[in-house]
Amino acid sequence: MAWNSHDLERVLALYADDSEMTSDKIPALGFDASGTLRGKTNIRAYWSKALQLLPNLHFTLIDTYVSPDSIVVFYHNERGSKICEYLRLNAERKIVQGSANHLALARVSKGDGSLHPSFEAH
């Protein structure tokens, strides 16, 4: 995985200039509160900061799932957290949309403070 190299240019080479990236880690690192970054310039700023703040960052691939225009990468990070990342690709096989999906906590809100029924702990 390019991220394991900690080479910012190698990571950015995977993204199209007009790509979007969504993650709950984006606001946590002081970027857009929506959790979405638009454009390679903003993605550069995010990954530059993330690679500086997380010198031990390392992803270990668990599995991949593919379709004609996307790939889902299932991996765990250096802390053992499992992540599933959806990456939509353009004709040049560059990422145009990425969404990092982390394991949900036991309770997920519908946004109005109430619990979404499909996320109730069993």
What pLDDT is recorded for position 66? Answer: 97
What pLDDT is recorded for position 117? Answer: 45
Q: Which two tokens stand for residue 52?
A: 């500086």
CA gap 80, 58 in Å, rounded: 10
Q: Would you call 51 helix, strand, or coil by DSSP?
A: helix
What pLDDT is recorded for position 27? Answer: 94
Per-residue pLDDT of the chain (122 residues; tens, 9 = 90+): 788 999 999 999 999 999 999 999 999 999 999 999 999 999 999 999 999 999 999 999 999 999 999 999 999 999 999 999 999 999 999 999 999 998 876 445 555 554 444 444 33
Within 10 angstroms of residue 38's Cβ, the number of other Cβ atoms is 14
**What's this model's pTM, rounded to 2 decimal places?**
0.80
CA gap 118, 23 in Å, rounded: 21
